[in-house]
């Protein structure tokens, strides 16, 4: 008698679980996983030197925590971005 009772409980539990999962899936839409777009890495010696300087500035900021080192690091981040955008624009011009 005891085993048939536990069997009934297991069946009821699975039914309840499946019903709840179905209701949740219908009520809430599932999000699609976003795939990270792979960017074309544009690299030349100027970019390499700028990135090395940026890394050095970041390490300097981590050791000193001074506001001037932080500003210098942020300035170099902006310069690297700007130069990469310029390079990206130049590559596009050569393709067309």
Give the DSSP letter of residue 28: S
3-state secondary structure at position 88: helix
Length of the chain: 96
Interval 33-87: pLDDT, tens: 777 666 656 678 888 999 999 999 999 999 999 999 999 999 999 999 999 888 8
How far is the C-alpha of 88 from the C-alpha of 78, rounded, in Å?
A: 15
DSSP summary character for residue 44: -
More confident residue, 86 or 5: 86
Model pTM score: 0.53
> What is the per-residue pLDDT for 58?
96
Which residues contact residue 79 at a Cβ distance below 8 angstroms, ignoring those fewer than 6 apart? 50, 54
Show the domain range for 40. 2-95
Overall domain count for the chain: 1
> Rounded distance, CA 95 to CA 92, Å?
5
């Amino acid at each position: 008698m005891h085993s048939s009772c536990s069997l009934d409980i297991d069946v009821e539990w699975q039914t309840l679980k499946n019903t709840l999962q179905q209701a949740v899936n219908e009520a809430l839409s599932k999000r699609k996983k976003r795939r990270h777009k792979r960017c074309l890495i544009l690299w030349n010696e100027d970019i390499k030197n700028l990135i090395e300087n940026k890394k050095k500035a970041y390490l300097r900021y981590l050791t000193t925590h001074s506001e001037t080192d932080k500003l210098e690091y942020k300035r170099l981040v902006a310069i690297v971005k700007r130069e990469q955008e310029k390079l990206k624009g130049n590559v596009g011009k050569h393709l067309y």
